Chains A and B, each alone.
Chain A
Amino acid sequence: MADLQERKIKDAQMRATINQKLVETGERERLKELLRTRLIECGWRDQLKAQCKEIVQSKGLEHITVDDLVAEITPKGRALVPDNVKKELLQRIRTFLAQQSSM
């Protein structure tokens, strides 16, 4: 039990450190740009845009808030990201970390 707790804290620390490194080096921005590009390429952006339009039209512009839209579209958007895009990003993060630890 204590072990699990410790692990959780360690994981969180690790995540924070990695995130900090990604931001500091600017790699996070590069990854974001790569992701943006890939999502445009594979049509994800257009698909999501069309779905947002549909939601807005069906509920009526007056009755919908950004929060509603975010709540409704986020799970769909996550599910629609192609596996190879996730894989590529993971690979890039791995490469980055390997490079960081060797320095």
Chain B
Amino acid sequence: MSLHGCEHLTSLKAAYGIQPFYIIHSYFIACSSIEARRVKAKSCFCHTCRYRGLRVHACLSCVYFGCYNEQHIHNHAKTKKHNLSVDLSYGTVYCYACGTFVYDEELENVARKQQRAAAATLGIKRDFAPWEPGQDEIELLRRNPKRRKVSENSHIGLRGLINLGNTCFMNCILQSLTHTPILRDYFLSDQHHCHMTANPQQCLVCEMGRLFQEFYSGVRTPYIPYKLLHLVWTNARHLAGYEQQDAHEFLIAALDVLHRHCQGQGTNGLSYSSSHHCNCIIDQIFTGGLQSDVTCKQCNNVSTTIDPIWDISLDLGPGPGSTTAAIAAGSNLVLSAVGDPALPMAVGPALVDLPTASLSPASGFTNSPSNYEPTSLLDCLKRFTRPEHLGNSAKIKCSNCSSYQESTKQLTMKKSPIVACFHLKRFEHSTGYHKKISTYVSFPEELDMTPFMSSSRNNSNGYTNQIVRESATGLSCDNKYSLFAVVNHSGTIESGHYTCYIRSHKEQWFKCEDHVITRATAGEVLSSEGYLLFYHKQLLEYA
């Protein structure tokens, strides 16, 4: 497609400049003021047959609007020799001498700018434009003429992984990561610029990039991820050794190493700084914001903290009687707080200032809706975001009252991550016993996180008469997710085996058991036990 219009447009521009187009576009196509919208509402109709609707064109040479369907604009063009018109629905320019739409870079830029401004005045956020290759990309495509077309039933991206001795926990995580759509796009479009310049062989991100190349190369023989395993071992020493490890622990460790290597931090140790504003690909994809609101029962003062999280761990068992104390101590909700699992939450003003007495079991804890076993992911999330009464023995220092008071605490999602990973806490480790909880927990193929967002919490304040505002936000499908990977654990806590289901293409599911990959149905996936559930946002907002 040429962006230089045609000779007729060129001579029109030479005579009048872009002014005619500019005026028509700002008054009748993309309006940024109420006045312009009024004019548009009144006057967009065919001057010959008075038709209002799609494909009414405005002449670029005089004040005439004519419809395209009945060819009134064509007749005008012919009789007056006014060759060019603008479609009032889309802003495209048509040349009647050439008999086709013509595109001009300068006009396109004007149009884009005005459309953006118009959307902004209406509070419409999205500025959707299809991807177009830049100069570099066109050059790259030219130099690499080989194309691989991915069809409906293509097996590309599917590859088994050899078990290197109890490494099924790792294989499942690698399968889940390699089938994370946005991570795949990142690696296959070659966007990692290595920061471990001194020793690129040690970079786990580079190694992941090679893994993606191996997966999408079209080779079907199982891949041996020994180098990757070695890299994880050297960077997360607690996972080293040929014993079965926890897949969840591996996931968090892998994300942490990837995040560190993205920044070029090769050394072991704490990468976490209290102001976690990392923009690496791992954080862009996996980091969500967890909001914690603690409300003082005495004065209703709310102190809010927001913590970055990579995943959400959900309790399965019935809420134990001592929930109060556990929650107050922050141990009931084991969140993999980014970078440092040992430092979960609440670093806000005067928030965690717990008297040691609060760790003793609570008495007189009524109103305990936690005393049921969740049977679905939604149950778990409801429980997770339900306001929790912190009892008499778990008083927290209120910054407003300047004294220890009873309070209510509620967790909600402030920011939803692109990939939401849910960890069903099936392994219970208490002093003296380890146990696996095998209760069935149903989980949906499509998940809407809206009820668990912090904004939903604020909305419950009874704000009415907000249809316009609500409908504007309703446009954003920000919180809708689709399931794309499920990691399962079978067997007992001592000797078990990990397998996973991954979704490739739109609706096709596959079961990965180390080097064996078999086709699966969505039904199988949804009725499996579920240990780690990976959901991907359905729609991404382009910033």
| Chains A and B form a bound pair | yes
Which stretch (A3-11, A18-26, A51-59) binds chain B?
Answer: A18-26
Given contacts A30-B475, A92-B471, A95-B471, 18 further A-B contacts (CB under 8 A): A19-B52, A20-B42, A21-B41, A23-B37, A26-B122, A29-B119, A29-B122, A30-B122, A30-B124, A33-B124, A33-B475, A36-B128, A37-B126, A40-B128, A41-B538, A41-B539, A43-B506, A65-B100
Task: Say yes or no for A2: interface residue by CB 8 A criterion.
Answer: no
Chain A contacts for B37, CB-based, 8 A: 23-26
B121 touches A26 (CB 8 A): yes
Chain B contacts for A25, CB-based, 8 A: 37
CA distance A97 to B118 in the complex (A): 22
Among B485-515, those with CB < 8 Å from A are: 506
Task: Say yes or no for A16: interface residue by CB 8 A criterion.
Answer: yes
Smallest CB separation, A5 vs chain B (Å):
17
Task: Say yes or no for B49: interface residue by CB 8 A criterion.
Answer: no
B99 touches A65 (CB 8 A): yes
22 example contacts (A-B, Cβ-Cβ < 8 A) are as follows A19-B52, A23-B40, A23-B41, A23-B44, A24-B34, A24-B38, A26-B37, A29-B124, A30-B122, A30-B472, A33-B119, A34-B475, A37-B539, A40-B128, A41-B538, A41-B539, A43-B506, A65-B99, A92-B471, A96-B467, A99-B467, A99-B468
Task: Say yes or no for A66: interface residue by CB 8 A criterion.
Answer: yes
- The digit string for B114-126, where 1 denotes a CB below 8 A from any CB of A, is 0000110110101
A-B CB proximity, top 3 nearest: A23-B41, A20-B41, A26-B122
Chain B contacts for A99, CB-based, 8 A: 467-468
Binding site for A on B (CB under 8 A): 31, 34, 37-38, 40-42, 44, 52, 99-101, 118-119, 121-122, 124, 126, 128, 467-468, 471-472, 474-475, 477, 506, 538-539
B467 touches A95 (CB 8 A): yes
CA distance A36 to B471 in the complex (A): 15
CA distance A20 to B538 in the complex (A): 34
Chain B contacts for A36, CB-based, 8 A: 128
Chain A contacts for B474, CB-based, 8 A: 34
B475 touches A24 (CB 8 A): no
CA distance A43 to B505 in the complex (A): 13
CA distance A23 to B35 in the complex (A): 11
CA distance A37 to B539 in the complex (A): 9
A19 touches B121 (CB 8 A): no
CA distance A21 to B41 in the complex (A): 7
Smallest CB separation, A11 vs chain B (Å):
13
